[in-house]
Amino acid sequence: MIIAIDFDGTISRGPFPEIRGEVPYAAASLREIAEKGHYIIIWTCRSGSYLLNAVNWLLERGIPFHRVNDHNPDNMVEYGPGGKKVFADVYIDDQNLGGFPGWTEAMEILKQHPNW
């Protein structure tokens, strides 16, 4: 399963552009997602040095991801170049309708997905 996850407000605390630590259980949740073999795309509006700071922050903490703001290469081979919105089976973002429920509830919802 391909899972696109927003950075600010979902993985890290803000406000943008600051990174004030981890949203509770974010790192553990992303590790569990990766250990299950799912493909993680960090999906963020950050660019330039702000994006570099976010990527470095993730790497320093060993928080797994496969791509940043980019499509899964297998999908591009099968379907051709994509648009600006990355394809994912699931999108996790604090700006979802209804807001982000937190990682404990998000993981419960993910585990009910048929492709978990």
We report the CATH number of the domain holding residue 79 as 3.40.50.1000
Residue 11 falls inside a structural domain:
yes
pLDDT at 77: 86
Residue 81 preceded by cis peptide, ω within 30 = no
Distance CA 91, CA 42 (A): 10
Residue type, 55: V
Residue 115 falls inside a structural domain:
no
Distance CA 101, CA 85 (A): 23
Distance CA 4, CA 41 (A): 5
- The structural domain count of the chain equals 1
Residue 52 falls inside a structural domain:
yes
Q: With beta carbons less than 8 A apart as the criterion, state whether 99 and 110 touch.
A: no
Residue 116 falls inside a structural domain:
no
Residue 28 falls inside a structural domain:
yes
Residue 90 falls inside a structural domain:
yes
pLDDT at 78: 84
Give the domain range for residue 41.
Answer: 2-110
Q: What is the chain's pLDDT, residue by residue, as a tens digit (116 residues)?
A: 999 999 999 999 989 999 999 999 999 999 999 999 999 999 999 999 999 999 999 999 999 999 999 999 998 888 888 788 899 999 999 999 999 999 999 999 999 999 99
Whole-structure pTM value: 0.95
pLDDT at 30: 98
Distances in Å between the Cα of 100 and the Cα atoms of 38, 59, 81, 94, 104 are: 20, 23, 30, 4, 11
Residue 68 falls inside a structural domain:
yes
Q: What is the dihedral of CA 66, 68, 74, 80, to 10 degrees?
A: 180
